[in-house]
Amino acid sequence: TYTTDTKSRQENKKTVESLYKLSVDIKKIRRLKEWVLLRDVAYVKEIAGILQEMGADETTVASILERCPEAVLHTPAEVNSQRALWQLVCQNEKQLIKLIEQFPESFFTTKYHENQKANILFFQELGLKNNIITRFLTSAPNIFHNPVEKNKNVIETLQKIYLSLGGSDANMKIWILKLLSQNPFILLHTSTTIQENLEFLQENDYTDKEVLQLLSKLKGFIFQLTPATMEKSMLFSKNVFKCSDQELKELVLKCPALLYYSVPVLEERFEGLLKEGISVTQIRDTPMVLELTTQIVQYRIKKLSALGYDVKSGNLESLNGTKKDFEANYGKIQSKKERPIFNPVAPIHIED
């Protein structure tokens, strides 16, 4: 990051002119990352040339350099090394240039090149498909900055945990790959954090089978929590539902969001539901409704009310699920409402 006083320095005219010739919006760079224009050395033509070699047209090159102007501060050798590295997991250069256009910052982070390479090879050995690895490179680039030993260590810990909780050797690889695909950020946590969270659940009388169930249901998000935050969330739910430890445990297994969301989030969602006239008993019967934001709940209630369906008097199942689930359920209620009532034993009136 550029830290010296930018006001006292002059822009590099050569850099500005080269970017201008490529139809790059200089004003945008001045506004967002002016420090790039002040550097004595830049490789504008060279980097643009490499992008064009990969199949990028003029508009694409301009778009990439506007969003990530620091790309021109890397040497052509660094960028070509990165290009060769990403080609290990990309089908072709067409896919590669598309990824660079969408995620230029991830591609032009060349500082951790050796770690990136070692981690890509490790993930391939582990059995992750290339399309999953490219998704990691673009959406979770930080996991490639770790030394490969750190990532291996976390994977080994997860393998030991899975087996110690009663998981089978035969299913372990599938479980690990699924967990990683759902939440690669697991790798940013230490083995100690993972162990502490699991011990907390075991101390709260969750059986090995139940802990494994929670790990799978939470898609690895449990590792982003701490025993302290989980305890606060559980205490909040216990007070609201006025339930015993055993009943709370059953609610958490039914709806792991009670464990995952912080108290302020749960509080806001509870209040939102109560304002809509929904009772605590209804929420307790269908706790999964707490996985939805207040805005989504309000929108769904409004849609169902327009069909004459009153959520206050029934169960909350009709509110639940993904957008796709809700739309399918809504469609069923709608078609039921529109269908004429047919009485099979009513006499048929025939004109004489």
Residue 331 contacts by C-beta under 8 Å, 6 or more apart in sequence? none
The proportion of the chain whose per-residue pLDDT surpasses 70, expressed as a percent, equals: 93
In this structure, how many other beta carbons lie within 10 angstroms of the beta carbon of residue 184? 22
Q: What is the model's pLDDT at position 197?
A: 87
**pTM of the predicted structure, to 2 decimals:** 0.76
Tens-place pLDDT, residues 283-337:
999 898 898 899 998 888 888 888 888 887 777 888 888 888 888 888 887 887 7
Q: What is the DSSP letter of 145?
A: T
Gyration radius from the chain CA atoms:
28
Mean pLDDT of 211-220: 82
Are 81 and 110 in contact by the 8 Å Cβ rule? The answer is yes
Q: What is the model's pLDDT at position 84?
A: 94
Q: What residue type is assigned to position 63 of the chain?
A: S
Tens-place pLDDT, residues 73-120:
999 999 999 999 999 999 899 999 999 999 999 999 888 999 999 999
Q: Is the pLDDT of residue 3 over 50?
A: no
Are 318 and 311 in contact by the 8 Å Cβ rule? The answer is yes
How far is it, in rounded angstroms, from Cα 71 to Cα 326?
A: 44
Q: What residue type is assigned to position 77 of the chain?
A: A
Tens-place pLDDT, residues 239-284:
999 999 999 999 999 988 898 899 999 999 999 999 988 889 989 9
How far is it, in rounded angstroms, from Cα 220 to Cα 176?
A: 10
| H-helix segments, the chain | 13-21, 26-33, 44-53, 58-67, 76-86, 93-102, 104-107, 113-126, 130-139, 148-164, 169-182, 191-203, 208-217, 227-241, 245-254, 257-260, 263-275, 280-285, 294-306, 323-338
Tens-place pLDDT, residues 28-81:
989 989 999 899 999 999 999 999 999 999 999 999 999 999 999 999 999 999
